[in-house]
Amino acid sequence: MEIIKYYHHRGNVGELSTRYHAFSKLKNARIRKIDHLKWKDTHNGYISYHAQVAFFGKTGYGKSTTVNSFFGNSILKTSDIAACTRECQSLDFELSPNCYLSLADFPGIGESEYRDHEYLEMYSNFLSTSTVIVYVIRADTRDYSIDESAYKKVFSTHAHSKKAILALNYCDKVEPISRQYLAHPNSEQLKNIDKKIDVVNKIFSPINAIIPYSAETSWNMNTLAKAIVDIVSDSEHIEIV
């Protein structure tokens, strides 16, 4: 089966590491030349190898906003109302010649049963090509039934679960919300974020630590970046120089 993704940007990992230092660890990293990490540009035939970081989750949970926040520019389309992503869209950052870190934004589930079936199949197809999967959920919701069902279907094996990071977005929306703009959660919010992490841990039982953050305010994005880099660095297919 042919798997296609569409890249919106191709640059250097320095663009990420100037904002989030954790990415500097991947500078000059080499990726093994194996088939499931190989991508061919259909326009010019260029072959490259990618450590792909895939962003999965429900529509409106901030996957595109998270990728934009890492990049520092709203390059991927976002909307609070409509679903914007219908295909895999990526931003590719060169680590070494022909080797890239790819931040890949996927369509969100939760629109309809038909779309969910289509997108969950898409998620499963991309699992083998992905080094890390960031599964984004919201901190300011109580109903995780759709997320729980999707998570269990996609991460059905221990090997797949080891690649997954549960990212708890919109921590700035956790009660009690201040009327003033605050980049960091207040002390009461932090207590409730800790409680939410406990709840999510019980529901999903992830292997890796849950990362609370806010893509809109950039709070704790550095921790999410480090968690991504740690999994990439531990991959048997990546050589850190």
Q: What is the pLDDT of residues 63-93, one digit of tens each?
A: 999 999 999 887 655 444 334 345 788 999 9
Alpha carbon 102 to chain centroid, angstroms = 10
Q: Would you say 194 and 168 are in contact if contact means Cβ atoms under 8 Å apart?
A: no
**The pLDDT of residue 88:** 84
List of domains in the chain: 6-239 (3.40.50.300)
The terminus-to-terminus CA distance of the chain in angstroms comes to: 33
Checking if the pLDDT of 158 tops 90, the result is yes
pLDDT score of 79: 40
- DSSP secondary structure of the chain: -----EEEEEEETHHHHTT-GGGGGGTT-EE---GGGEEE-TTT--EEEEEEEEEEEBTTSSHHHHHHHHHTS--S---SSS---SS-EEEEEEEETTEEEEEEE-PPB-S-HHHHHHHHHHHHHHHTTEEEEEEEEETT-S--HHHHHHHHHH--SHHHHHTEEEEEE-GGGSSSPPSS--SS--HHHHHHHHHHHHHHHHHH--SSPPEE--TTT-TTHHHHHHHHHHHHHH-TTEE--
> Residue 107: is the preceding peptide bond cis (ω within 30°)?
no
Q: CB within 8 A of 192, min separation 6: which ones?
A: 174, 175
Query: With 60 as the cut, is the pLDDT of residue 1 above it?
Result: no
Burial class (CB in 10 A: 0-12, 13-18, 19+), 7: middle
175: which 2 tokens? 């009660």
pLDDT of residue 80: 43
Phi–psi pair at 77, nearest 5 degrees: -70, 135
Give the pLDDT confidence score for residue 42 in this predicted structure: 85
**174-186: average pLDDT:** 82
Mean pLDDT of 23-39: 96
Adjacent-strand bridge partners of 50: 100
pLDDT the model gives residue 81:
37
- Six-digit token pair at 237? 């297919």
- Type of residue at 206: P
The residue whose two tokens read 């934009």 is 68
Render pLDDT for 200-210 as a digit per residue (tens, 0 to 9). Answer: 999 999 999 99
